[in-house]
Amino acid sequence: MYTVGMAANDRNDPTRRPSSDSDYSLIEFMREYPNDAACLDRLWRDRFAPDGHHAACPKCQRERKFHRISTRACYACDSCGWQIYPMKGSIFEKSTTSLQLWFYAMYLVASTRCGISAKQLERELGVTYKTAWRMFNKIRNELMADDDPEPLGGDVEVDETSIGGKARYRMTRAEGAAFREAKPTVLGMVERGGRVKLRVIPSRRGPGLSREVRAHVNPSAMLITDDWVAYKPLRREFLDHRVINHSAGEYVVGDIHTNSVEGFFGNLKTGMRGAYKGVSLKWLQSYLDEYAWRHNAQRRGGALFAQLLARAVS
């Protein structure tokens, strides 16, 4: 756990851990991870040896002291010579890229507010675009994937939106509807003051929308939606279902509104448009997971880089 409320004279302590991303500067990152050996030591401690020396030896069948092999990325048992590779089973396994660059890539991804493109990662790391894309893809798909089985609860706002830009010319109502239907549809579910879940759905019409809501929202929650007809089948499946009638020009009636999820959609689209320009349907869900992870991680507390690193070594 990261300590909060450090004294001013503790800020120069190289062993201290940041309480938030704003406290964890690039200088502190480079001080803590100056080379591959420091990064490997971190993996070793977190995965096998909390004290940095003793770990359970599979061959000796007991806890033994291990030492670092200088010519390999591994640690060997002092008694029998059994070797343990800390990168095995992680996203770093079989990668020829420097471990420090992997850590730095995770630091950059966690430190940016609206994401960072693979092209920018290429420039920051000094690697090829293919390598930067592969690293970012693994970080996004394996460390930021939404694998939280806990459904959303409390007051949950649900809305859907289309991803892919605006029309370049004025359209009729029917043309506008057809234009939106041709673009990927994203369903957003937001706990007020809590987590968010995002899913790509085939269409904003039909059973696909209601199926995703049932899968990710607790039946004991209060559901808040607009007056779109696809939400009607859900009205008796939750503790309560409140509807804000956008068709009648209503947007806030007391505490009934969908401003939280709509505000998240606004930040999502602005961030994706600025950082990534365009996203293909094939990878859209992973990009959504990235934004949802960043939102949820901020509410868990602690530095986002530390949370990414914890998932990388778990």
Instruction: Report pLDDT digits (tens) over 57-85.
Output: 999 999 999 999 989 999 999 999 999 99
Domains contained in the chain, number? 2
Whose tokens are 């420091």? That residue is 38
Same domain flag for 217 and 246: yes
Domain membership flag for residue 81: no
pLDDT higher than 90, residue 286: yes
Work out whether the CA dihedral 225, 230, 235, 239 comes out positive or negative: negative
Give the domain CATH number at 200: 3.30.420
Taking only the tens place, the pLDDT of each residue in 226-244 is 999 999 999 889 999 999 9
- Tell me the backbone φ, ψ of residue 67, rounded to 5 degrees: -130, 155
pLDDT value at residue 179: 66
Residue 181, in any domain of the structure:
yes
Domain for residue 290, yes or no? no
- Does the pLDDT at position 5 exceed 90? no
Residues 163 and 269 reside in one and the same domain: yes
Same-domain pairing of 15 and 136: yes
Q: Is 86 helix (H, G, I), strand (E, B) or coil?
A: coil
* Closest by CA position to 212, among listed 135, 261, 158: 158
8-12, 100-104, 165-169, 287-291: least confidently modelled range: 8-12
- 168 and 233 share a domain? yes
pLDDT tens, position by position, 111-123: 888 888 999 999 9
Whether residues 135 and 178 share a domain: the answer is no
Would you say residue 176 has pLDDT above 90?
no
In a domain, 264, yes or no: yes
Give the range of the structural domain holding residue 19, as residue numbers without chain letter. Answer: 8-48+86-143+303-313
Q: Please count the residues of the chain.
A: 314
Q: What pLDDT, on the 0 to 100 scale, is given for residue 23?
A: 63
Distances (CA, A) of 191 to 24, 140, 153, 154, 213: 28, 23, 7, 7, 13
Examine the domain organization and report whether 28 and 116 are in the same domain.
yes
Q: Where are the beta strands (DSSP E) in the chain?
A: 54-57, 62-69, 74-77, 83-84, 155-162, 185-191, 196-201, 222-226, 240-244
Name the band, by pLDDT with cuts 50, 70 and 90, for residue 275. Answer: confident
**How far apart, in Å, are the Cα atoms of 255 and each of 95, 157, 258, 260?**
51, 11, 9, 11
- Give the SS3 label for residue 252: coil
Instruction: Please tell me which residue, 25 or 153, carries the higher pLDDT value.
Output: 153
